[in-house]
Amino acid sequence: SGAGGAMVAHSMLKHNHELKIIILERGDHTDSLDMTSNEVDMLARLYADGALQLSRDFNFQILQGSCVGGSTVINNAVSFNLPAAVLKKWNDAQLYDAGLDETRLNQSFQYVRQLLKIKKQDENAPGQKFPFLNKGSAPFKAGIEALELDKPPNEFNVVEANIDKCFGCGYCNIGCRYGKKLSMLNSVLPDLQRDYPKDNIRIIAGCEVDKLHTSGKDITHLSASFKNGRKLDIRAKKFILSAGAISSSLILLRSNVGNAQVGKNLAFNLGSPITAVFDKVINAYEGLQISHYFLQNPSRGYIMETWFNPPVSQALTMPGWFDDHFNNMLRYNKLSSVGILVPTEGNAEIRNGGLFKRDIKYKPTAEDLKKLGDGLELAGKIFLRGGATHVMPHTLDYLELTEDNLHLIRQNVLKPGGITLGTGHPQGGNKISKDPKKGVVSPEFKVYGYNNLYVVDASVFPSSIGVNPQLTIMALADYAAEFILD
């Protein structure tokens, strides 16, 4: 019921009002009014595995929403179009041969932007009553300008997002109680239920798909389970997997459906933050958790986004141990952070194995870690030029750095387990391609070898796109709808 599933349901009904669609959601339904500032409770209720989904070696955290509305409920709503260079690479016949129609896809991007009111976040916009941009972005902006990194062709700007008249509470990642973030929970799904009869659109929450059942080249039905153990079988003419880059692959693997490429070539936006310390109050916890981005052109292989968390979440990632950690939390209101995102190589794999039958095999490549180290070092320099007394990468060894020793970041990044690593953006595993030897789904999003099975989510990405992926997922879902209806 997230970015892929909700949007493809919306766009299919847009074209054919007579359709009957059932949406199954592994997570529970939590109404916006039931979302609170109790971070521990919200993390447990809204995130897959209570925000403890980890790679096989426990060194890499993969955050995904598990609730009605999916990750759109708990993300920062940051919206980028698919970079032109990435689409060109996807469609390159010598590489992925995705076969996507650029003109049609651009129309889908425009449609989704209009539908969800995606726009640059502006404190001076008509009707905006409160300042809401992250206050921690001001010293970062000062450092960018001091280093003259704001000059074209570089991009330093306020993010675009599907947020309307934000209150600036700073709790974006545990749901929006006020309905200002136009997630699938607060926009597309209730609109579908309002605009169509109950028989046309049903959402069943707390229900996980166990297996797809086949007869020859057709999916005949699926079996699913509720948390209380009750079973459910559903028969349909067509089946669409939109369970996200991890779970869609797992469902195919559990069902022994799809070719040998299923679950392979998984990629991420590899992320790690750096925290800056100031000798004055910053109050970075006020406002959007992500409000600005910085992208160098030509690309250095990473993007920076200003970033900060409410107390519990910030404490979970705060550098330092024992007294160092305690003292850092005491100066919580004098800190600011930036996250570095690196589009990784597609060297991860999902397996239906391990203790929880969700085995994610991943080890960052040396080249990806080098890019991360470069980005963290530059972000540290930017903060120091913006007035920070020192900066702290989120390394295993506690470091308080100035410009004289920023180079220590790189050697710590390259140590196994030397730095906090994670992502909210898994991508790939079921690549789209004209060639079944390269991909799992066709350019029409149909799973190779099956007549009535489709995949519409980030798992079809041939590679990591290097920016926040939700808008691309939604646009691809709108794009895919007409193929599924044919």
Asked whether residue 143 is assigned to any structural domain, the reply reads yes
Sorting pLDDT into bands at 50, 70 and 90, what band is 89? very high
Asked whether residue 218 is assigned to any structural domain, the reply reads yes
pLDDT over 90, % of the chain? 90
DSSP-derived pairing of the beta strands 201-205 and 335-343: unpaired
| pLDDT of res. 330 | 96
| pLDDT of res. 235 | 98
Residue 306 and residue 258 share a domain = no
| CA torsion angle 307 311 315 318 (round to 10) | 40
Distance CA 278, CA 309 (A): 17
| pLDDT of res. 129 | 79
Asked whether residue 355 is assigned to any structural domain, the reply reads no
Among candidate residues 420, 446, 462, the one where a domain is terminated: 420
CATH code for the domain in which residue 153 is found: 3.30.410
| pLDDT of res. 476 | 98
Sorting pLDDT into bands at 50, 70 and 90, what band is 104? very high
| pLDDT of res. 54 | 86
Sorting pLDDT into bands at 50, 70 and 90, what band is 25? very high
**Would you say residue 65 has pLDDT above 80?**
yes
| pLDDT of res. 203 | 97
Please state, rounded to an integer, the average pLDDT across all residues of the chain. 95
Sorting pLDDT into bands at 50, 70 and 90, what band is 58? confident
Judge whether 164 and 318 are in contact, CB under 8 Å: no
Asked whether residue 172 is assigned to any structural domain, the reply reads no
Q: Is 263 left (phi over 0), alpha (psi -120 to 50) or beta?
A: left
What 3-state class would DSSP assign to 396? coil
Distance CA 216, CA 207 (A): 26
Residue 452 and residue 312 share a domain = no
Distance CA 198, CA 175 (A): 26
Residue 272 and residue 258 share a domain = no
Residue 151 and residue 216 share a domain = no
Per DSSP, the residues of 274-322 read EEEE-SS---TTSS-S--EEEE-SS--S-EEEEE---HHHHHHH-S--T
Sorting pLDDT into bands at 50, 70 and 90, what band is 244? very high
- What average pLDDT does this structure show over 225-239? 97
7-21 pLDDT, tens digit each? 999 999 999 999 999
What 3-state class would DSSP assign to 129? coil
| pLDDT of res. 26 | 96
Sorting pLDDT into bands at 50, 70 and 90, what band is 486? confident
**Would you say residue 356 has pLDDT above 80?**
no
| pLDDT of res. 59 | 87
| pLDDT of res. 125 | 85
Asked whether residue 212 is assigned to any structural domain, the reply reads yes
Residue 257 and residue 274 share a domain = no
| pLDDT of res. 423 | 94
Residue 409 and residue 452 share a domain = no
Residue 197 and residue 98 share a domain = yes
Tell me which amino acid residue 455 is. Answer: V
452-476 pLDDT, tens digit each? 999 999 999 999 999 999 999 999 9
| CA torsion angle 124 125 127 129 (round to 10) | -30
| pLDDT of res. 131 | 80
Total number of domains in the chain: 2
Residue 333 and residue 318 share a domain = yes
| pLDDT of res. 31 | 96
Residue 258 and residue 151 share a domain = no
Structural domain of residue 239, as residue ranges?
3-73+80-117+183-262+429-485
**Would you say residue 408 has pLDDT above 80?**
yes
Burial (CB count within 10 angstroms: exposed 0-12, middle 13-18, buried 19+), residue 437: exposed
CATH code for the domain in which residue 443 is found: 3.50.50.60
Asked whether residue 128 is assigned to any structural domain, the reply reads no
Residue 239 and residue 109 share a domain = yes
Residue 376 and residue 240 share a domain = no
Residue 287 and residue 325 share a domain = yes
